[in-house]
Amino acid sequence: MRITKEMLLNIAQDTVEKLVRENPSIIAAYLHGSILREDPLLGGTTDIDLVFIYAGGNRRREITRLTDEVTLDIEYHPQSLYRPPRTLRSDPWLGNTIYDCQSIHDPDHFIDFVQASVRGLFGTPENVIERAEPLLTEARQTWLRYHNQIPESGPELVAEYLHALECIANAVACLNGPPLTERRFLLEFPARAEAMGNPGLHVGLLGLLGTVNISKNEIAAWLPGWEAAYKAVGGMPEVPPHLHPNRKAYHLRAYQAMLESENPETAVWPLLRTWTRAARHLPAASNPVKAWTDACDQINLLNDHFAQKVHGLDAYLDTVEEFFENWKQARGLV
């Protein structure tokens, strides 16, 4: 089946019209994410990210399979999340989402008002640094927790370490745009770092992740273990949205496409992130977690090697923190 942006937008519109008819508490709805790109596909797959704003109650996120290539990802947000709207300018995720989103149902102009409030002064240095700097602070706090005592190795430890790397990279990315999404994380970070005049940050990030000396074939050998873990979590009563069975092709085909590209190491980030999330929900002695452990050992993320990663994280943070200080000084913020 040929997937076009027009087809995806039509599906989104039909979905919104159906749900609005069924639920009068829905105030507004908007699109965000890859569907707004000129080419929303990666590895021939994409998802349609929809947010419904409603009054009252709690609603669960919905992941619906449309085809193997396309999933529908619906989130429900209470109206209170957007008040007062001007404060969203300092939120790196929701602020950027609202700035770029496309309204698809807004009879009372709620989204129009919120978006106008967010876009006002959004790009001033003061608001840019308010979005970016807390991410850097969060990464430094992770380093501090591990500086004196490193806890037992395992999925929880690796998940926190990867989150710290995500925070640092997105702190840099937020200086010149929105934060990076998971699938395109290593695909887009080099350009964002180069745009800030510091392309060496990408090489440093790869070093901290452990991908510098790993081959395409070694990464590809991880896929059966990843699939086993993903399948095991998918059979649980409460499946995390990011690991929903309907999203398997969305993940796997993107990894395969990256592995066949000129930069196969770009697959490591999303593959390892989802695999680590899955491993956190599975018994430590299970075969999928053992396979995950072997992969982490290959890139020195566990046991005695982790102390070296913490040391490297400190040095990398020093570099980025100095870069931030220079950025602020150049704009009169210090």
Buried b (16+ CB within 10 A) or exposed e, 82-121: beebeebbbbbebbbbbbbbeebbbeeebbeebbebbeee
Question: How confident is the model over 71-79, as a mean pLDDT?
Answer: 96
* Token pair recorded at residue 74: 């619906």
**Average pLDDT of the chain to the nearest whole number:** 95
Question: How confident is the model over 292-316, as a mean pLDDT?
Answer: 94
Q: Looking at the whole model, is its pTM more than 0.85?
A: yes
Task: Answer yes or no: are the C-beta atoms of 246 and 64 closer than 8 Å.
Answer: yes
φ, ψ for residue 124, nearest 5 deg: -70, 150
Question: How confident is the model over 240-266, as a mean pLDDT?
Answer: 96
Q: How confident is the model at residue 298 (pLDDT cuts 50, 70, 90)?
A: very high
Q: How confident is the model at residue 212 (pLDDT cuts 50, 70, 90)?
A: confident
Residues of the chain with CATH 3.30.460.10: 5-119
21-33 tens-digit pLDDT? 999 999 999 999 9
Angular region, 263: left φ>0, alpha ψ -120 to 50, beta rest = beta
Please state, in angstroms and rounded to a whole number, the distance separating the CA atoms of residues 63 and 197. 39
Q: How confident is the model at residue 334 (pLDDT cuts 50, 70, 90)?
A: confident
110-160 tens-digit pLDDT? 999 999 999 999 999 999 999 999 999 999 999 999 988 888 889 999 999
Task: Answer yes or no: are the C-beta atoms of 210 and 301 closer than 8 Å.
Answer: yes
Q: How confident is the model at residue 257 (pLDDT cuts 50, 70, 90)?
A: very high
Task: Answer yes or no: are the C-beta atoms of 179 and 168 closer than 8 Å.
Answer: no
Q: How confident is the model at residue 230 (pLDDT cuts 50, 70, 90)?
A: very high
Task: Answer yes or no: are the C-beta atoms of 188 and 272 closer than 8 Å.
Answer: no
105-119 tens-digit pLDDT? 999 999 999 999 999
At 57 the pLDDT is: 67
Fold of 5-119: Beta Polymerase; domain 2 (3.30.460)
Buried b (16+ CB within 10 A) or exposed e, 218-246: ebbebbebbbbbbebbbeeeebeebbbeb
Q: Does 1 have pLDDT greater than 80?
A: no
Q: Which residues pair with 141 in a beta bridge?
A: none
Q: Does 303 have pLDDT greater than 90?
A: no
Please state, in angstroms and rounded to a whole number, the distance separating the CA atoms of residues 72 and 53. 17
Please state, in angstroms and rounded to a whole number, the distance separating the CA atoms of residues 158 and 142. 11
Q: Does 321 have pLDDT greater than 90?
A: yes
Q: How confident is the model at residue 297 (pLDDT cuts 50, 70, 90)?
A: very high
Please state, in angstroms and rounded to a whole number, the distance separating the CA atoms of residues 133 and 119. 19
